[in-house]
Structure 1
Amino acid sequence: MLERLEAEAFLTLAEELHFGHTAERLHVTTGRVSQIIKKLERRIGAPLFERTNRSVRLTPTGHRFYEDLRPAYEQIQAALARAVDSARPTLSVLRVGFVGAAAGQVAHQARDLFPEREPGWRVHIREVQLVDALARLREDDVDILILHLPVSGADMVVGPVVISEPRMLAIPADHPLAGRTSVSMEDITGVPLLRVAGVKPGDWLSDRWPDRTPQGRPIPEGPEIETFLEALQVIGSGIGATVVGAQVTRFYIRPDIAYVPLSDAPPLDWAPVWLKSNNTAAIRAFAHTTLEVAQRIYLAATR
């Protein structure tokens, strides 16, 4: 009998060909991935991967196992999603979480539109905080989240990008960089970047506080925070900075904080995300509704 974690570990490693990346996607340790694969290889009686200090690749046996297992695994996931759909014929409440004001605007307008698209459903909206947003989803406290990317994980479905905005640096208003028309990542080498408590490298949000500039110059580590409003309070007091989206200039104007465009940073994208184990028709329909609403908001803003 093949256990779910064994299947997920093998399929993910076959795609990533990297134990560390596989461990990050599955939210386990690298040692745990190695232990699972060795146990699976003992059961099969042959190596599934060739490992060296520099690379990981499938053996012929591993390649055949992947070709056989992937379709079967996808069928099981689809069957599970259909079973969830059929087990909830009378469910009428969709629980939607959001992070940040722009995502909240999209969520609330989608809530008003959704019953027209899916009669019999109503939507309950709640704000979630940076420190526990994904935990709220995984603990079944919300069904779908609207938050900023990137989000990775073998258990996640990422919906359409509904907001794409320039990145900015939120910095104390009296900082020397505050008067600039723009800054580059190289300019922030002396600026401590705030980080969310408990977030490890590779986790959601960790891209917001790189430890080095693109040219390799160190960026100091700033204080830990748990919510965005707490981050603003810390920055407003003159301590540290954080990378934000341009929506802050509409929703979070403060006299003690300056928002300076980052000239060489990629856009910050926002999307609805949900669990593969809860991939229902209603959730997919709501994700489509958020895209429709976001497009309307953008058109209204540009007129």
Structure 2
Amino acid sequence: MVGERRYGVLERYEIEAFLTLTEELHFGRTAERLHVSTARISQTVRKLERRFGAPLFVRTSRRVEPTALGVQLAEELRPAWEAVGAAVRRVTDAGHGRTGMLRVAFAGPAAGQLLVGVAERFRDRLPGWEAALREAELVDRISLLRAGEVDLVFAEYPLREPDLVPGPVLVSEPRMIALPAGHPLARQDAVTLEELAGIPLVRLPAAVPESFRADRVPTRTPAGRPIPSGPEGGTLNEILTLVGAGRAAFPLGAQARRYHPRPDIAYRPLTDAPPVQWGLLHHRDRATPATEAFHRAARELLGADG
């Protein structure tokens, strides 16, 4: 196009030489810092000055000082150059697993409180990394993990799925039964699994892994007596609402008594039931040094084996 000005693109070594010289104000020190010859620095500066059509430095036998044009170029060029360098370092570090964002999904105040401490220890282990905690229901946590939208899921076991890899048990708590406050069993100090015969249990959605549903909502007592299936509850609040309304009961971990007290619900220990166990899961195809570092931080904080 007639009258259009064409500006050449500066090479990396030209930018480095120019900006380093504005800092060192000495050709020899600049050359030493960049591991090149003094002649190379002089040639590079002369080439830039020819391109810009004016001197960038005032040179005497005693000193080197940038001209007004040199000062202007340095002030406008340095922030962009530093931003480019920072971007390259961030991407390189991320590619080598040295920095980044690890995303962890959880549910409930007890899990959130625990993971805050794990995240702090994780950041100590991997400086430059952050851990973002995201709350989601169990079905959503698994979907997010499979979609690659989170890197780890903190959840109750068992979750036996072919594409999910469970880490060691991090937390083990007594199993309790949430009963309507007016239920006859609520007058007892504890309940046995055999006493659940004839009591409907809240049904979990079909999207919840079968291994978890079978553990949490048994259909028979140890002696083989049937346990009725109650109404479906998709979230913990829905489940507790159904229990409080007198429509069903539900087994869960002891932390619910502390974090979800309700006047319409009585929590009683299930004396012969196995504990509720918690751990971290990752996708079998997406294990990374960062996910392993978070696993280790959790094991150290909680004193878990493995």
Q: TM-score range with shorter-chain normalisation?
A: 0.5 to 0.7
Provide the secondary structure at the position in 1 that maps to 2:197: helix
Matching residue of 2:75: none
1:276 equivalent in alignment to 2:298: no
Matching residue of 1:138: 146
Q: What aligned pairs does 1:1-303 form with structure 2 within 5 A after superposition?
A: 87=95, 89=97, 92-199=100-207, 202-295=210-303
Matching residue of 1:33: none
Aligned residues: 212
Report how far residue 292 of structure 1 moved. 2.5
> For structure 2, which runs of at least 5 residues remain unmatched after alignment?
1-92
Residues of 1 paired with 2:127 and 2:139: CA distance? 34
Residue 236 of structure 1 aligns with an amino acid whose one-letter code is G
Residues of 2 paired with 1:284 and 1:132: CA distance? 23
Write the deviation string for residues 85-115 of structure 1: whole angstroms up to 9, x where unpaired: 9856475100001133322222122122221
Provide the secondary structure at the position in 2 that maps to 1:286: helix
TM-score when normalising by structure 1: 0.66
RMSD: 2.0
Provide the secondary structure at the position in 2 that maps to 1:190: coil
- The answer (yes or no) to whether the contact 2:99–2:127 under 8 Å persists in 1 is no
- The answer (yes or no) to whether the contact 2:138–2:208 under 8 Å persists in 1 is no
Residues of 2 paired with 1:203 and 1:284: CA distance? 25
Provide the secondary structure at the position in 2 that maps to 1:205: helix
Provide the secondary structure at the position in 1 that maps to 2:219: coil
Residue 298 of structure 2 aligns with an amino acid whose one-letter code is T
Residues of 2 paired with 1:183 and 1:199: CA distance? 29
Matching residue of 1:47: none
- The answer (yes or no) to whether the contact 2:161–2:209 under 8 Å persists in 1 is no
- The answer (yes or no) to whether the contact 1:130–1:196 under 8 Å persists in 2 is no
Report how far residue 174 of structure 1 moved. 0.6
Report how far residue 234 of structure 1 moved. 1.3
1:200 to 1:110, Cα distance in 2 relative to 1, 3 A: closer
Residues of 1 paired with 2:229 and 2:218: CA distance? 9
Matching residue of 1:77: none
Residues of 2 paired with 1:199 and 1:221: CA distance? 16
- The answer (yes or no) to whether the contact 1:170–1:257 under 8 Å persists in 2 is yes
Residues of 2 paired with 1:88 and 1:235: CA distance? 50
Residues of 2 paired with 1:261 and 1:154: CA distance? 32
Residue 243 of structure 1 aligns with an amino acid whose one-letter code is P
Provide the secondary structure at the position in 1 that maps to 2:226: coil
1:205 to 1:136, Cα distance in 2 relative to 1, 3 A: farther
Identity %: 43
1:102 to 1:291, Cα distance in 2 relative to 1, 3 A: farther
1:141 to 1:195, Cα distance in 2 relative to 1, 3 A: farther
Report how far residue 197 of structure 1 moved. 1.5
Which structure would you say has the larger Rg?
2
- The answer (yes or no) to whether the contact 2:139–2:208 under 8 Å persists in 1 is no
- The answer (yes or no) to whether the contact 1:131–1:227 under 8 Å persists in 2 is no
Residues of 2 paired with 1:218 and 1:120: CA distance? 54
Residue 183 of structure 2 aligns with an amino acid whose one-letter code is H
- The answer (yes or no) to whether the contact 1:160–1:288 under 8 Å persists in 2 is no
1:143 to 1:200, Cα distance in 2 relative to 1, 3 A: closer
